[in-house]
A and B are shown apart, each in its own frame.
Chain A
Amino acid sequence: MKEELLVSGRQNLNIDPVLHIWHWQIPLYLFLGGLAAGVLFFAALYTIQGKEKQYPTAVKIAPIIAPFALVFGLLALFLDLKHQLYFWQLYTTVRLDSPMSWGAWTLMAITPLSFIWSAVYIKEIFPNWDWKFSFLNTFEAWCRKNIKIFAWIIIILAIILGVYTGILLSAFNARPLWNTSILGPLFLVSGLSTGAASIMWISKDSAERRVFSKIDLILIGIELFFIVHLLMGFMASSKVQIEAAELFLGGEFTVPFWIFVIGLGLVVPAILESLELMGKHIPINIPAILIIVGGLIFRFIMVEAGQVTRYLY
C-alpha cells in the first residue's frame, strides 16, 4: 500500500490546519435570507392569484417577518466582512460571474420592497396605526392599488434570493461539498419550507393552517428527495466529493446531520403534520419550530462541513 505523509510549513490563521474563514454570520444570513424569501414568495403568490381573503396571514401578517429577517441578515453579512469600511464597493460594479455580487444587488432591491409590503399591510397588525404625514398615506394608497405589480417583482426576487443562498456556496469549486448545482434548488425549497412553517405558526385561521401544513409536507418531501439526490450525486462523483458525502455517512457530521436536520428538522415535523391532517390534535407550533430550527442547523452544518472538504491537504 502506498502511504503519504505530508508536512506543510503554512500556518495561516483561519486557513490551517482546516479552513475556517466563515463563521456563524454566513449560515445565519443564509437562513434569514431563505426565510424572508419563503415568506415573501407566498405573500406574492397569493396576491397574484387574488386569494388575499383566503390566506390573510400569508399575504398580510407574515410578511412583516421579512424586513426584520433581511435587516438582521444584512447585519450578519456586514459583521462577516473584514474590510468593512469598503463595503460600498459591492455597489460600484455588477459582476455576473460572482453570485455574491448579484446577491448583493438582489438584497438591495428586495429589502426596501419588503418594507413597502409590510407598510401596506401594517394596519392589519396594528389597527390604530397612523402614518402622521399625508404623503405617506397617499404613497400607501398608491402601493395598495399597484400591489399586483409589487407582487410580481417580489416573487421573482424572492426566488432569486432563495436560490442565491445556495448558489453562493455552490459556486466554490474548491469546496467539494458545496460544488453541486442541486444546492441552489435545495436551499430554495428549504427556505420556502421555513417560510411556510412560519406562516402556519402565526396563522389563527384553521383552514389556512391546513393548507400551509400540506404545502410544508410537500416541500419536506421535495427537500428529502434533493438531499438523497445530493448524497447520491457525491457518491457517484470524484474522490473529493465521495469524501465530502462521507462526512455525513459515518464521518464527523453524521450525528448532527441525521438527528437534527433529517430527523428532528424534516421527518418528525412531517409525521406530526400528517397526524394533524388526519385529524389528531397536535399543537401546530411544535412542527413549525422544528422545521425552522432544522433549517437553521442545516445551514450551519453545510457551511461548517463544506469548509472541511478540499482538494489538496
Chain B
Amino acid sequence: MRYAMAIDTKKCVGCSDCVVACQTENNVPIGYCRDWVVEVTAGKYPNLEIELRSERCNHCDNSPCVRCCPTGASHYEEGGIVTVNHYECIGCNACIESCPYDARYSHPDGYVDKCTFCIHRVEKGQNPACVSVCPTNCMYFGDLDDPLSEVSQVMKNRKWKVLAPEAGTNPNVYYLI
C-alpha cells in the first residue's frame, strides 16, 4: 500500500477551500495552515501562464524529517503516511529544518505539526478533508500500488510532476500538468 495524492493544476481555481476544510477538520490553530495554495505566474507579458497548486506535506518515501527526528516521533504509518507522535516530540524542530517543502510548523502547544493526509479519515475509508471538499474535484487520493485506484488511473493518463525532485525525497504528492 502506498498512499498518494494527485492534484490537477489545470482544474484548480485557487479557492482555498482545501485550506479551510483542513483547518476545520484538524483543529489547526489560528494563523497556521497544514495546506496552502501557491499561485505561480510565469512568462513575460503578454504570454503569461498561471499555475495554481494546493501544497502540503509530500509524505515522501525518503523523508528527511523521519531521518532527522532524534526520538522517532516522526514516523511512517502504514501506507507511507508520515505523522508526528505528539507525545514523543520534544519540539527540537530538527524536522522543520530538514523539510525542503517547509510543510511543518511548530504548534503553539510545543510539538511539531503538519498534514497527516487525514489519516483518521483514511482509516475509515474516507478521503482526506481537502480532497472531499474540493469544488472542482481537482484532487485524487488513493493507493498507488493498486493500478485500478483513481489516483493510479489519472496519473497514467496525464503528465505530472513533483516538487523539488532534486532534493531526493521521492514525494507522494503529484501535480498533474
- Does the CB pair B71–A21 fall under 8 Å? no
- Does the CB pair B102–A101 fall under 8 Å? no
Name the distance in Å between A304's Cβ and chain B's nearest Cβ: 13
Name the distance in Å between B19's Cβ and chain A's nearest Cβ: 7
* B65-112, CB < 8 A from A: 67-73, 86-94, 96-102, 104-106, 109-112
| Choice from B16, B86, B106, B110 contacting A13 with Cβ under 8 Å | B106
Q: Is B123 an interface residue (CB 8 A)?
A: no
- Does the CB pair A312–B68 fall under 8 Å? no
In the complex where A95-B70, A310-B100 touch, is A90 in contact with B166 (Cβ < 8 A)? Answer: no
| Alpha-carbon separation in the docked complex, A313 to B102 (Å) | 9
- Does the CB pair B97–A1 fall under 8 Å? no
B-chain residues with CB within 8 Å of residue A21 when the two chains form the complex: 93, 96-97, 106
- Does the CB pair B91–A12 fall under 8 Å? no
In the complex where A19-B102, A312-B101 touch, is A10 in contact with B36 (Cβ < 8 A)? Answer: yes
* A161-193, CB < 8 A from B: 171-175
Per-position 1/0 for B48-78, Cβ under 8 A of A: 0000000100000000100111111100000
Which residue of chain A is the closest to B107 with respect to CB atoms? A82
Q: Is A258 an interface residue (CB 8 A)?
A: no
Name the distance in Å between B6's Cβ and chain A's nearest Cβ: 19
Name the distance in Å between A73's Cβ and chain B's nearest Cβ: 14
Name the distance in Å between B175's Cβ and chain A's nearest Cβ: 13
- Does the CB pair B92–A81 fall under 8 Å? yes
Q: Is A138 an interface residue (CB 8 A)?
A: no
Q: Is B38 an interface residue (CB 8 A)?
A: yes
- Does the CB pair B89–A173 fall under 8 Å? no
| Alpha-carbon separation in the docked complex, A81 to B111 (Å) | 9
A-chain residues with CB within 8 Å of residue B96 when the two chains form the complex: 15, 19, 21
| Alpha-carbon separation in the docked complex, A100 to B96 (Å) | 14
Name the distance in Å between B136's Cβ and chain A's nearest Cβ: 17
Which residue of chain A is the closest to B105 with respect to CB atoms? A12
Q: Is A84 an interface residue (CB 8 A)?
A: yes
Q: Is A206 an interface residue (CB 8 A)?
A: no
- Does the CB pair B90–A8 fall under 8 Å? no
Question: Among B39-47, B125-133, B145-153, which stretch is in contact with chain A?
Answer: B39-47
B-chain residues with CB within 8 Å of residue A80 when the two chains form the complex: 92-93
B-chain residues with CB within 8 Å of residue A83 when the two chains form the complex: 86, 89-91, 109-111
- Does the CB pair A172–B32 fall under 8 Å? no
Q: Is A137 an interface residue (CB 8 A)?
A: no
Q: Is B168 an interface residue (CB 8 A)?
A: yes
Q: Is B167 an interface residue (CB 8 A)?
A: yes
Which residue of chain A is the closest to B54 with respect to CB atoms? A9
Of listed A2, A86, A313, residue having the most chain B CB within 10 A? A86
Q: Is A135 an interface residue (CB 8 A)?
A: no
Which residue of chain B is the closest to A91 with respect to CB atoms? B71
Which residue of chain B is the closest to A98 with respect to CB atoms? B70
In the complex where A82-B106, A174-B64 touch, is A6 in contact with B40 (Cβ < 8 A)? Answer: yes
- Does the CB pair B68–A98 fall under 8 Å? yes
B-chain residues with CB within 8 Å of residue A22 when the two chains form the complex: 93, 97
Per-position 1/0 for B135-173, Cβ under 8 A of A: 000000000000000000000000000011011100000
Q: Is A236 an interface residue (CB 8 A)?
A: no
- Does the CB pair B70–A104 fall under 8 Å? yes
Name the distance in Å between A8's Cβ and chain B's nearest Cβ: 5
| Choice from B88, B93, B163 contacting A312 with Cβ under 8 Å | B163
Q: Is B33 an interface residue (CB 8 A)?
A: yes
Per-position 1/0 for A284-313, Cβ under 8 A of B: 000000000000000000000001001111
| Choice from A3, A6, A86, A238 contacting B90 with Cβ under 8 Å | A86
14 interchain pairs, CB-CB under 8 A: A5-B42, A6-B38, A9-B36, A10-B102, A89-B73, A95-B72, A97-B68, A98-B70, A101-B70, A173-B100, A174-B100, A238-B166, A310-B100, A311-B101
A interface list, Cβ under 8 A from B: 1-16, 19, 21-22, 80-84, 86-87, 89-90, 92-93, 95, 97-101, 104, 171-175, 238, 240, 307, 310-313
